[in-house]
Amino acid sequence: MKPKAKRDYLKVFDFSKDEFLYIIKRSKNLKKSKESSNYPLFGKNVGMIFEKPSTRTRVSFEVSVYQLGGHAIYLSPKELQLCRGETIGDTAKVLSRYLDAMVIRTFSHKTLEEFSAYADIPVINALTDLHHPCQAAADILTIFEKKGRLEGIKVAYIGDGNNVANSLIEACALTGLKIDVATPEGYEPLEESVKKARSCTEVNIFNNPFQAVQDADVIYTDVWLSMGEEGKIEKREKFKDFQVNSNLLKYAKADAIVMHCLPAHRGEEITDEVIDGPQSVVFDQAENRLHTSKAILEFLLTL
């Protein structure tokens, strides 16, 4: 029998429309069942390298592997030979002989692609500078749960055109959601993601948040300054008119939900009144990271 070809999840567009929708539906079923009865990852070991801080991604993946019957191994970048000059390729080749999959959070997306090129096991992107595909899967699951459908839904993303925005755009494309993005001039999302997404759905880019939220079913935001950008005071100044607050919500649909991938810088990109308000689904969204992580692992390692 011909062995199954290795599959990675480095960006949302690594999955087809049918595959991504399967992930969403499977996540919903896994959430409903709470526990897996057949432990599909029994005997499998998943390595985890995190070069950046993580709460939701790391914990959700460790718990996911455990609940699916596998074993998660955290590999500190400071303790691997990578910190002493071993190449990414050599590291990937060796770890492929020990492990069944790798979950990696790193700075440069090119680093992740290089690791994947040398690895013989599935590699999952736990966040890079360009993409955050695991977050996007949880986002779509949350919208599906709260709205009961994906067809005809409009998402308004307000803020930095960063990794979260890029992956959200790709996820909307695969699921048919319309998305309007509002960023300050010069902070638009990745052109490659936008161009490909437009072949599947409607994507509009604005420099005015009030334009983007018109008739929106979902309002989504993220921090203005990503990890490593905390000292960029001039960037924060450019985003001061892009805050998600009660005034902005008035321009969306009355039953619009508010989303944030967390962590939030309260009082900057979003106010306490909104993130803690009745339209916020932020913490349900965070919980869904667990269920989509399980579906992604199961898909890549067993199907």
Consecutive H or E run containing 65 = helix 56-67
pLDDT digits (tens, 9 = 90+) for 54-75: 999 999 999 999 999 999 999 9
169: CB partners within 8 A, 6+ apart:
157, 179, 181, 189, 193, 194, 197, 203
Residues 105 and 218 in one domain: no
Q: Choose the catalytic residue: 109, 222, 260, 285.
A: 222
Q: Choose the catalytic residue: 109, 131, 289, 291.
A: 289
Q: How large a percentage of the chain has pLDDT more than 70?
A: 97
Q: Choose the catalytic residue: 129, 131, 135, 160.
A: 135
171: CB partners within 8 A, 6+ apart:
12, 20, 133, 136, 137, 139, 140, 177
What is the rounded CA–CA span in Å between residue 62 and residue 72? 6
> Per the structure block, which two tokens stand in for 70?
């596998």
The residue-averaged pLDDT of 82-92 equals: 95
Residues 46 and 111 in one domain: yes
Residue 1 in any domain: the answer is no
Residue 83 annotated as catalytic: no
Q: Domain range spanning residue 242?
A: 135-286
> Per the structure block, which two tokens stand in for 131?
């993409």
Residues 279 and 291 in one domain: no
Residue 291 annotated as catalytic: no
The residue-averaged pLDDT of 190-218 equals: 98
Contacts 24+ apart (CB under 8 A), 21-24: 21/174, 21/175, 22/299, 23/137, 23/292, 23/295, 23/296, 23/299, 24/137, 24/140, 24/141, 24/144, 24/175, 24/292, 24/295
pLDDT digits (tens, 9 = 90+) for 164-195: 999 999 999 999 999 999 999 999 999 999 99
Q: Which amino acid is at 144?
A: F
The residue-averaged pLDDT of 233-239 equals: 92
Residue 222 annotated as catalytic: yes
Q: Choose the catalytic residue: 109, 132, 260, 291.
A: 132
Residues 151 and 267 in one domain: yes
Residues 24 and 90 in one domain: yes
Residue 298 in any domain: the answer is yes
pLDDT digits (tens, 9 = 90+) for 248-300: 999 999 999 999 999 999 999 999 999 999 999 999 999 999 999 999 999 99
Residue 4 in any domain: the answer is no
- Between the CA of residue 211 and those of 41, 205, 242, 256, what are the distances in Å? 46, 10, 11, 15
Domains identified in the chain, total number: 2
Residues 254 and 140 in one domain: yes
Residue 120 annotated as catalytic: no
Residue 125 in any domain: the answer is yes
Q: Which amino acid is at 290?
A: L
Residues 162 and 257 in one domain: yes
pLDDT of the residue at 3: 52
Consecutive H or E run containing 169 = helix 163-175
Q: Choose the catalytic residue: 105, 109, 260, 291.
A: 105
Residue 90 in any domain: the answer is yes
Residue 243 annotated as catalytic: no
The chain-wide mean pLDDT, for the chain, equals 96
Q: How large a percentage of the chain has pLDDT more than 90?
A: 93
What is the rounded CA–CA span in Å between residue 119 and residue 211? 44
**Residue entry with tokens 């070069």:** 51
Residues 60 and 188 in one domain: no
Q: What is the CATH number of the domain that holds 119?
A: 3.40.50.1370
Residues 247 and 179 in one domain: yes
Q: Computed from CA positions of residues 75, 283, 26, 201, in that sequence, does the dihedral angle turn out positive or negative?
A: negative
Residue 90 annotated as catalytic: no
pLDDT of the residue at 303: 83
Residue 78 in any domain: the answer is yes
**Residue entry with tokens 């993409």:** 131
With bands split at pLDDT 50, 70 and 90, how would you rate the model's confidence at 1? very low
With bands split at pLDDT 50, 70 and 90, how would you rate the model's confidence at 2? very low
Q: Choose the catalytic residue: 129, 261, 285, 291.
A: 261
The residue-averaged pLDDT of 2-12 equals: 85
Residues 282 and 297 in one domain: no
Residues 96 and 173 in one domain: no
Residues 280 and 294 in one domain: no
Residue 7 in any domain: the answer is no
The residue-averaged pLDDT of 117-137 equals: 98
pLDDT of the residue at 229: 77
From the centroid of its chain, how far is CA 52? Answer: 15
H helices present in 250-281, as ranges = 272-275
pLDDT of the residue at 163: 98
